[in-house]
Amino acid sequence: MVNIVHSCWQLFYGTLLEYETHKVVQIHSKKVGASFRVIQLFFVLYVILWVMIKEKGYQKFDQAQSGVTAKLKGIAFANITNNQNIGASVWDAADYVVPPQQNSAFFVMTNLIVTPGQTLATCEESHDVHGNSCRRDKDCSPGTLVLTGGGVRTGRCVKSTRHESLFVCEIYGWCPTEHDIMPKENILSSAPNFTVILKNSIEFPLYRVKRRNILPWMDKTYLKMCRYNPLDSREKFCPIFRLDDIMRYTEADNRGIWKYGGMISIQIEWNCDLDYSEDECVPKYTFRRLDDFDSVVGQGWNFRFSQHYIENGVHKRNLIKAFGIQFFITVYGKGGKFHLLTFSMNLGSGLALLGIATVLCDMIILNVTRKRSIYRTAKVDLVVQQKREFKRVNVVRNAEKRQLQIPRKRDNTSETANVRSGSRGNDLGGNRSSEMGLQASRLRRRGKMPSR
């Protein structure tokens, strides 16, 4: 138990009750000195070039609040010869933009599969529905809802009109069912020439600055004629884009996107230095394809929608499986102005990095250099060892003093004894003479001793 307490005390005494202070040691070494200055220069350049200039560490930033809308224009002519109910038709933005408005996004239909004139009746289920093949009526349970199909089974097994050797279950639903055969080419072949105008407004609430991507110098004439071109000094700010140009700016393989569809990201970036004029706060556009265009399964982008109508008192609908491009618009940005507190904090943090140069050089001289043992001895002082050395020196000095003081004491003692003995002899002689004088005086009084 005593050992445990002693160990705990040693741990407490050796760790918590120690204090370290810096000691300045000047080392005249060209290599170490040059290394120290190079490291310091690196951190100084980092603070100036990167923190202050590149990242604008002297500014306080505010995030942009934004809203964006898209408006498409363009006409497409489609001649669907294999479907007499549609035939030749003209498609405008009201037809190929589905739905008409989205939040920071828009969809452009470029290809489609149409199943026109569907009515609620009984008909054969599509042959490509999994688990729909049959041999007899018992294989088609009546009232069973085919979730991946188009209706409810009637309980009859009928011969398929699309595949002569195949029997399928009959259903009650929208008939005829969809015949999902992809056209060889995209039906809306003029879709690459469609244009879209993006209207984007942003605000930096902290600085009460509002901007829009239709810049003040743009007029109606310019907006009618301009098309976005990132290589032109003026056209790179044009808010009107051709869809084919957008595909080209993504730098991706877009050969099948017009037929099968895909996903495109349009990014509008606002990075504004509000210490200068607000007119220099302008947008930057970038484009990127999001979907995996090399994928074999689940390729492209498609969905279904219907157009309902009544003909001769009969409720009908046209089923459309739309293939197209889904555009996602992302707006982000920041605006900054000089801020004294932010500048002071970044500057102080940068100057604190200079201390790393000292740490690195200490590691070099104490662990790498040839004279590391000499440098370590000169730099590191253990006060405990020094205390022990001082105690040892004091003990030796005290012992030497005692040795020097012993003969002096002896001499002083003998001298004192002689003085005392002499004084005692004098005292005895004086006493004897005084006694003899008293005796003589007594005899004179008695008359026995003659006077002088």
* Residue 56, annotated as binding a ligand: no
- Give the domain ranges of the chain: 28-58+339-379, 63-125+177-338, 381-422
- Indicate the SS3 state at residue 156: strand
**Rounded-to-integer distance, Cα 246 and Cα 258, Å:** 13
* Residue 337, annotated as binding a ligand: no
Class of domain 28-58+339-379: mainly alpha
Q: Give residue for tokens 């990201």.
A: 265
What pLDDT score does 199 carry?
A: 96
Higher pLDDT, residue 21 or 330: 330
Supply the DSSP symbol for 205.
T
* Residue 73, annotated as binding a ligand: yes
* Residue 409, annotated as binding a ligand: no
Question: Mean pLDDT of all residues in the chain?
Answer: 83
Query: For residue 17, what are its two tokens?
Result: 């009750």
Write the pLDDT tens digit of every residue in 214-243. Answer: 999 999 999 999 999 999 999 999 999 999
Burial tier of 110 (Cβ tally within 10 Å: 0-12, 13-18, 19+): buried
4 has pLDDT over 70: yes
**Rounded-to-integer distance, Cα 149 and Cα 145, Å:** 8
Which amino acid, residue 252? A
Q: Are 100 and 154 in contact (CB under 8 A)?
A: no
* Residue 37, annotated as binding a ligand: no
Write the pLDDT tens digit of every residue in 283-327. Answer: 999 999 998 877 777 788 999 999 999 999 999 999 999 999 999
**Rounded-to-integer distance, Cα 371 and Cα 11, Å:** 32
Direct distance between the N- and C-terminal alpha carbons of the chain, in angstroms, rounded to an integer: 99
Q: Are 302 and 323 in contact (CB under 8 A)?
A: yes
Higher pLDDT, residue 255 or 290: 290
Spell out the residues 6+ positions from residue 189 whose beta carbon is closer than 8 angstroms to its own. Answer: 76, 78
Q: Are 264 and 289 in contact (CB under 8 A)?
A: yes
Q: Give residue for tokens 């740490």.
A: 359
Helices (H), 274-382: 340-352, 354-367, 372-379
Q: What percent of the chain has pLDDT over 90?
A: 49
Higher pLDDT, residue 417 or 323: 323
Q: What is the mean pLDDT of residues 268-285?
A: 94
What pLDDT score does 435 carry?
A: 52
* Residue 17, annotated as binding a ligand: no
What pLDDT score does 393 carry?
A: 66
What pLDDT score does 407 carry?
A: 59
Residues 148, 154, 156, CA angle at the centre, nearest 5°? 105
The two domains 28-58+339-379 and 63-125+177-338 share their CATH topology (first three levels equal) = no
- E-strand ranges in 179-313 read 195-204, 209-212, 240-242, 262-273, 284-289, 302-311
Spell out the residues 6+ positions from residue 109 whose beta carbon is closer than 8 angstroms to its own. Answer: 95, 96, 97, 98, 188, 191, 322, 323, 324
Helices (H), 353-382: 354-367, 372-379
H or E, element range at 249: helix 243-249
**Fold entry, domain 63-125+177-338:** atp-gated p2x4 ion channel fold (2.60.490)
**Rounded-to-integer distance, Cα 286 and Cα 288, Å:** 7
Q: Give residue for tokens 């209706």.
A: 151
- Choose the most confident range, by mean pLDDT, from 5-9, 138-142, 242-246: 242-246
Task: Choose among 188, 197, 196: nearest CA to 95.
Answer: 188
445 has pLDDT over 60: no
* Residue 177, annotated as binding a ligand: no
Higher pLDDT, residue 378 or 441: 378
How do strand 262-273 and strand 65-73 relate by DSSP bridges? unpaired
What pLDDT score does 421 carry?
A: 47
* Residue 72, annotated as binding a ligand: yes
Q: Give residue for tokens 């829009």.
A: 212
What pLDDT score does 384 carry?
A: 56
Q: Please state whether the predicted TM-score (pTM) of the whole model is above 0.75.
A: no
